[in-house]
């Protein structure tokens, strides 16, 4: 990801726990050297694991962000004595991608589709689902993994300014964890 000296900008869910890979091939090739060590330099993001080196690659698992923007820097020391920084600028993504219209009297199944997230995470699979956080409605079933989707049945809908939603923590087989929500707006049928 680091083919120039400028920082790389990426988006991340504020609570997601994801692996990030830095590719230092260009820097190492230009200097005709190899990596010796890497030190983390982070701002407003929790470092959960690493960083570690695998040849020309740096791996780090990042967790919760404490603000809307954060950064992580791989500080790499080379065999020839050079030291360089390569930075990832992180921006928290708004978790409002899945919005459904719902009649308060309906009792329906809804699916959280994680196919795109799984593809970005090295084509891993869903491993488990945490406890849903349901606001303004009633969960009529527990979460069920069905391929790349998690399906739940909901009933009811709160009136007024209540945000009707269900937040769901999901664990991937590769050890990553993401948090996604579905939101409901009132539609009378």
pLDDT in tens, the chain (189 residues): 677 668 999 989 999 999 999 999 999 999 999 999 999 999 999 999 999 999 999 999 999 999 878 999 999 999 999 999 999 999 998 776 789 999 999 999 999 999 988 888 878 999 999 999 999 999 999 999 999 999 999 999 998 888 899 999 999 999 999 999 999 999 888
* Whole-Å CA distances, 2 to 7, 13, 49, 65, 150: 8, 22, 20, 22, 35
* Nearest alpha carbon to residue 180 among 116, 108, 119, 104: 116
* Whole-Å CA distances, 18 to 12, 37, 154: 8, 22, 29
- 3 state SS of 28: helix
Q: State the DSSP H helix or E strand holding residue 133, giving kind and residue range, or none if neither.
A: strand 133-135
Q: What is the pLDDT of residue 131?
A: 96
Q: What is the pLDDT of residue 6?
A: 83
- Find the DSSP H helices in 70-173: 115-120
35: tokens are: 């990596």
Q: What is the pLDDT of residue 69?
A: 84
Specify whether the CB–CB gap between 112 and 182 falls below 8 A. yes
Q: What is the pLDDT of residue 1?
A: 66
Strands 57-65 and 45-54: antiparallel
Q: What is the pLDDT of residue 5?
A: 67
* Nearest alpha carbon to residue 157 among 140, 134, 137, 182: 137
Predicted TM-score (pTM) of this structure? 0.84
């Amino acid at each position: 990801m680091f083919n120039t000296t400028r920082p790389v900008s990426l988006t991340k869910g504020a609570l997601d726990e994801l692996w990030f890979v830095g590719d230092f091939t260009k820097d190492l090739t230009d200097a005709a050297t190899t990596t010796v060590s890497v030190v983390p330099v982070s701002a407003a993001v929790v470092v959960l694991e690493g960083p570690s080196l695998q040849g020309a690659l740096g791996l780090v698992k990042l967790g919760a962000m404490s603000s809307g923007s954060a950064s992580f820097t791989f500080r790499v020391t080379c065999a020839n004595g050079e030291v360089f920084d390569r930075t990832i600028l992180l921006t928290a993504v708004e978790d409002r991608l899945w919005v459904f219209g719902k009649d308060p009297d309906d009792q329906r199944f809804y699916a959280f589709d994680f196919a795109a997230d799984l593809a970005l995470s090295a084509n891993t699979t869903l491993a488990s689902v945490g406890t849903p956080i349901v606001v303004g409605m009633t969960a009529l079933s527990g979460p069920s993994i069905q391929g790349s989707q998690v399906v739940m049945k909901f009933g009811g809908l709160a009136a007024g300014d209540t945000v009707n939603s269900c937040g769901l923590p999901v664990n991937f087989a590769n050890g990553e964890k993401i948090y996604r929500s579905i939101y409901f707006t009132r539609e009378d049928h």
